[in-house]
């Protein structure tokens, strides 16, 4: 487990101090795929670099598997870093080394015997599906292939944790999906705990189990993805998670109701039910729902009828149908 | 009309060949030794920088200052200044041995700056990745910075050796040999234009050769060149 306790990071600068991280408390459980989402400049990258101490926090503690790594010896820190792999937005491959030599690099650092390293490299390239590119150089690979090499390299020393810093931000949507699938696969089959830094909602949505929203150097919200995504509390979380919904709510006048479907409701037609059973017609301002195995997920915004009575009737109906809702202005 | 001067015939093929040999010999030895000093200095300058792998600002400042001082003295003045130093260290202040010593003193700081700029070109992200894998400073230098900077280092070495070759032309002033010496101390006083121009031609040929060879090596070692390597693997895949 990775625990961040009261983490703070400040940089000196010409016009006073810059606060990059403030009062960060996070627990990342084993086996989780933990997303940290925020806008650029929010402090995400600094946060992930504090986990393996590529950046030293100004104060606070980083505890990995019970060990406070902020005050271990230099030698021990280098050892710990071998159990925490990392991949980057820019891939950061050694351009003058072949694919297999790149994957071999961390094994050389860890002084793994040559024969063993060779076998391990082969195994890893197979895992990421690049066996036939073993002797190619990074310049000959596509972005997605480069990130696969980086993943193989990061996993070479069998780390327990993998830190991903905007790992898919430089890739096109299709490639992003295939890299995310690979990461999910690595998490499932090898049990590697992942910390995923991203500004893309869909990355969190498609593979993360937990999520923390970071804004202005602070964690403003965190929890299970299903919970945070269904009921985002902070303004920034709403901006990130349901930007279109927020926009449509703002642009329309009158009272509105936000309906949240988090799988508790079957796909019975709720809106036509409203019209037929309550005799109230409503406008749909926004809808983004999906049907997974006969269950509804997502959000919808409808206008509330003017009359108090009608409005109450709508709410009663929804409560009866187990749809959670919230009035939005 | 084209009559050769007395000096030209006196020197003969043998004289010019000796000149070529002495120039090459002085340049090669000085550049090689200066590189052995300049390379570690350049790496030191790069990694101890405040944004470097191992920031040690005071050391960086001191070394940087010394390098700058040596770099700012024009070579001809440096030579004069080094005469007593050369006598103390090399046992002589004239001839090829003294010349090589002076060339080393002049070239080492130059090479240090060349190496520094080559190594600084290496992508910071790659260094960060190596650090994330638990690499120590030595491993980062040896396994990341130097191999990644190799093509640029080769180009720097070529430029440095051409500079040293240029300096070596002043060898005549302290009775060392080489083409420069022939042109300046022998041909100039007797106004033997043919000798001067042959020396110029020979130096141009030597510089061209060093340049071409160096660039060929740099290109060959650089794996970032996309088209060339791709063609090679495609061929490999077909067979």
Q: What does the pLDDT look like over A158-202, one tens digit per residue?
A: 999 999 999 999 999 999 999 999 999 999 999 999 999 999 888
pLDDT, residue A307, reads: 81
Look at residue B229 in the predicted model and tell me its pLDDT: 46
- Specify whether the CB–CB gap between A24 and A218 falls below 8 A: yes
| Ranges for all domains in chain A classified under CATH 3.30.70.260 | 244-328
By Cβ distance, the residue of B126, B222, B237 closest to A92 is B126
Q: How far apart are CA A75 and CA A69, in angstroms?
A: 11
> Is residue B5, in this structure, part of any structural domain at all?
no
Domain that holds residue B208: 13-234
The residue in chain B having the minimum alpha-carbon distance to the alpha carbon of residue A134 is B233
Q: What is the pLDDT of residues A117-163, one digit of tens each?
A: 999 999 999 999 999 999 999 999 999 999 999 999 999 999 999 99
Do residues B144 and B130 make contact, with C-beta atoms less than 8 angstroms apart?
A: yes
Locus of tokens 């500004």: A199
Task: Specify the length of chain A in residues.
Answer: 329
What pTM was estimated for this model as a whole? Answer: 0.85
At A255, the pLDDT band (50, 70, 90 cuts) reads: confident
Q: Is the dihedral of CA A175, A177, A180, A185 positive or negative?
A: negative
User: What secondary structure letter does DSSP report for B144?
Assistant: I
**Residue A250: predicted pLDDT:** 77
- How far apart (Å, rounded) are the C-alpha atoms in residues A277 and A314? 10
Count of beta carbons in the 10 Å neighbourhood of residue B22 = 21
Q: Extract the residue ranges of chain B whose pLDDT is less than 70.
A: 1-2, 226-239
Chain-chain contact of A109 with B139 (C-beta, under 8 angstroms): yes
Q: Is the dihedral of CA B165, B170, B174, B178 positive or negative?
A: positive
CATH number for the domain running over A244-328: 3.30.70.260
CB contact under 8 A, A109 and B144: no
> Over the stretch A269-295, which tens digit does the pLDDT of each residue have?
778 888 888 888 788 888 888 777 777
Distance, in Å, from the CA atom of A203 to the CA atom of A194, rounded to the nearest integer, reads 13
CA distance A139 to A190: 29
- For helices B146-168 and B6-47, the axis angle rounded to 10 degrees is 150
Q: Quote the pLDDT of residue A238.
A: 82
* Chain A environment of B129 (Cβ under 8 Å): 86, 88, 92-93, 150, 153
Q: Which residue of chain A has the CA closest to B145?
A: A94
> A74 CB contacts (<8 Å, ≥6 apart)?
none
Q: How many CB atoms sit inside 10 A of residue B206's CB?
A: 18
Q: Which of B126, B151, B229 lies nearest to residue A140, judging by beta carbons?
A: B229
DSSP string for residues in A90-146 = T----TTS-HHHHHHHHHHHTT--HHHHHHHHHHHHHHTT-GGGTT--GGGS-HHHH
- With cut-offs at 50, 70 and 90, classify the pLDDT of residue A81: very high
Q: Looking at the DSSP assignment, which residues form a beta bridge with residue A19?
A: A10
Q: Which helix (H) or strand (E) holds B66?
A: helix B57-72
Cα separation, B62 vs B41, whole angstroms: 12
Rounded to whole angstroms, how far apart are CA atoms B127 and B141? 9
CB contact under 8 Å between A52 and B132, yes or no, is yes
- Chain A residues whose C-beta sits inside 8 Å of any chain B C-beta: 52, 54, 77-82, 84-86, 88, 90, 92-98, 105-106, 108-110, 132, 135-140, 150, 153-154, 157, 163
Cα dihedral A243, A246, A231, A240 in deg (nearest 10)? 20
- Please give the CATH topology (third level) of the domain spanning A2-239: Rossmann fold (3.40.50)
For residue B135, the chain A residues in CB contact (below 8 A) are: 78, 109
**Rounded Cα–Cα distance for residues A62 and A138 (Å):** 34
B23 inside domain = yes
Q: Output the furthest CA–CA distance in chain B (Å, rounded).
A: 75
Q: Dihedrals φ, ψ of A129, to 5°?
A: 70, 35
User: Which residue ranges does chain A devote to CATH 3.40.50.300?
Assistant: 2-239
Nearest beta carbon to residue A78 from set B134, B143, B226: B134
Q: How far apart are the first and last CA of chain A?
A: 41
- Summarize pLDDT for B49-74 with one digit per residue, the tens: 998 999 999 999 999 999 999 999 99
Give the Cα-Cα-Cα angle B100, B44, B137 (nearest 5 degrees): 135
Of A82, A92, A139, the CB nearest to B128: A92
User: CA-CA distance, A275 to A58, in Å (whole number)?
Assistant: 59
Provide residues of B within 8 Å CB-CB of chain A: 123, 125-126, 128-136, 139, 143-144, 147-148, 150-151, 221-226, 229-230, 233, 236-237
- Tokens 């101390």 belong to residue: B185
Contact A59, A25 (CB under 8 A): no
Strand, coil or helix: what is B139? helix
How far is A151 from A62, CA to CA, in rounded Å?
24
Our CA angle for B70, B173, B157, nearest 5°, is 45
Number of domains in chain B: 1
Q: What is the pLDDT of residue A296?
A: 77
Q: Does residue A7 have a pLDDT over 50?
A: yes
Burial of B156 (0-12, 13-18, 19+ CB in 10 A): buried
Compare all CA atoms of chain B with the CA of A49 and give the residue at the minimum distance. Answer: B132
**In sequence order, what are the beta bridge partners of A224?**
A210
Query: Could you tell me how many residues make up chain B?
Result: 239
Residue B101 within any structural domain of the chain: yes
pLDDT value of position B237: 39
Tell me whether residues A105 and B143 touch, CB distance under 8 A.
Answer: yes
Query: Which phi and psi (to 5°) does residue A314 adopt?
Result: -60, -45
What is the C-alpha separation between B152 and B147, in angstroms, rounded?
10
Is B144–A94 a contact, with Cβ atoms under 8 angstroms apart?
yes
**Would you say residue B1 lies in a domain?**
no
Share of chain A above pLDDT 90, in %: 62
Q: How far apart are the first and last CA of chain B?
A: 63
Scanning the structure block, which residue is given the tokens 């060349």? B114
All residues of chain A having their beta carbon less than 8 Å from the beta carbon of residue B151 are 96
Please give the pLDDT value at position A215. Answer: 92
Say yes or no for a CB contact (<8 Å) between A97 and B128. no
Average pLDDT of the segment spanning A241-253? 77
| Rounded distance between C-alpha atoms, residue A211 and residue B60, angstroms | 43
User: Closest to B125 (Cβ–Cβ): which among A92, A136, A154?
Assistant: A92
| CATH number, domain containing residue B96 | 1.10.3720.10
| Helix pair angle (B6-47, B95-120), 10° resolution | 40
Per-residue tokens: B189? 């006083």
Mutation target among A112, A138, A139, A152 for the B interface, most CBs of B within 10 A: A139
Residue A266 banded pLDDT, cuts 50, 70, 90? low
Residue B230 falls within a domain, yes or no?
Answer: yes
> How many whole angstroms separate alpha carbon B96 and alpha carbon B19?
12
């Amino acid at each position: 487990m990775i625990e961040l306790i009261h983490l703070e990071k400040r940089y000196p600068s010409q016009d006073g101090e810059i606060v990059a991280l403030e009062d960060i408390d996070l627990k990342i459980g084993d086996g989780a795929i933990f997303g940290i989402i925020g806008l650029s400049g929010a402090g995400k990258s600094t946060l992930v670099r504090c986990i393996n101490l590529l950046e030293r926090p100004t104060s606070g503690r980083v505890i990995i598997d019970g060990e406070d790594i902020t005050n271990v010896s230099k030698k021990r820190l280098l050892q710990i870093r071998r159990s925490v792999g990392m991949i980057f937005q820019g891939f950061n491959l050694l351009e003058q080394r072949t694919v297999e030599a790149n994957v071999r690099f961390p094994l050389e650092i860890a002084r793994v015997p040559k024969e063993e390293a060779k076998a391990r490299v082969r195994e890893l390239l197979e895992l990421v599906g690049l066996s036939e590119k073993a002797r190619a150089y990074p310049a000959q690979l596509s972005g997605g292939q480069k990130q696969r090499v980086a993943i193989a390299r990061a996993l070479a020393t069998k780390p327990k944790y993998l830190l991903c810093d905007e790992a898919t931000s430089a890739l096109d949507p299709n490639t992003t999906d295939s890299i995310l699938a690979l990461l999910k696969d690595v998490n499932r089959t090898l049990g590697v705990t992942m910390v995923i830094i991203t500004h893309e909602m869909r990355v969190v949505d498609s593979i993360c189990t937990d999520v923390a929203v970071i804004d202005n150097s602070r964690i403003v919200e965190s929890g299970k993805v299903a919970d945070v995504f269904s009921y985002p509390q902070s303004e920034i979380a709403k901006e990130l998670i349901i930007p279109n919904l927020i926009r449509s709510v703002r642009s329309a006048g009158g009272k509105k109701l936000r309906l949240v479907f988090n799988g508790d409701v079957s796909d019975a037609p709720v809106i036509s039910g409203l019209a037929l059973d309550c005799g109230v017609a409503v406008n749909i301002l926004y809808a983004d729902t999906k049907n997974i195995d006969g269950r509804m997920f997502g959000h919808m915004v409808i206008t509330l009828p003017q009359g108090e009575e009608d409005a109450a009737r709508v709410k009663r109906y929804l409560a009866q149908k187990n749809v959670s809702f919230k009035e939005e202005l | 009309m084209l009559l050769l001067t007395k000096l030209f015939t006196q020197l003969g093929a043998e004289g010019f060949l000796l000149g070529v040999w002495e120039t090459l010999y002085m340049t090669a030895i000085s550049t090689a030794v200066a590189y052995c000093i300049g390379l570690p200095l350049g790496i030191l300058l790069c990694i101890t920088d405040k944004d470097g792998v191992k920031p040690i600002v005071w050391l960086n400042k001191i070394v940087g200052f010394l390098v700058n001082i040596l770099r700012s003295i024009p070579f001809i003045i440096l030579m004069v200044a080094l005469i007593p130093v050369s006598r103390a260290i090399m046992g002589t202040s004239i001839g090829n041995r003294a010349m090589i010593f002076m060339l080393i003193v002049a070239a080492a700081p130059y090479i240090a700056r060349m190496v520094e700029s080559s190594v600084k070109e290496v992508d910071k992200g790659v260094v960060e990745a190596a650090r994330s894998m638990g690499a120590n400073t030595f491993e980062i230098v040896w396994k990341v910075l130097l191999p990644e900077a190799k093509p640029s280092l080769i180009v720097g070495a070529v430029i440095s050796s051409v500079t040293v070759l240029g300096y070596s032309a002043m060898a005549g002033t302290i009775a060392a040999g080489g083409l420069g010496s022939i042109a300046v101390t022998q041909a100039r006083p007797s106004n033997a234009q043919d000798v001067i121009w042959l020396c110029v031609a020979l130096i141009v040929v030597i510089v061209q050769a060093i340049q071409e060879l160096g660039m060929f090596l740099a290109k060959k070692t650089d794996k970032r060149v996309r088209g060339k390597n791709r063609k090679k693997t495609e061929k490999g895949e077909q067979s």
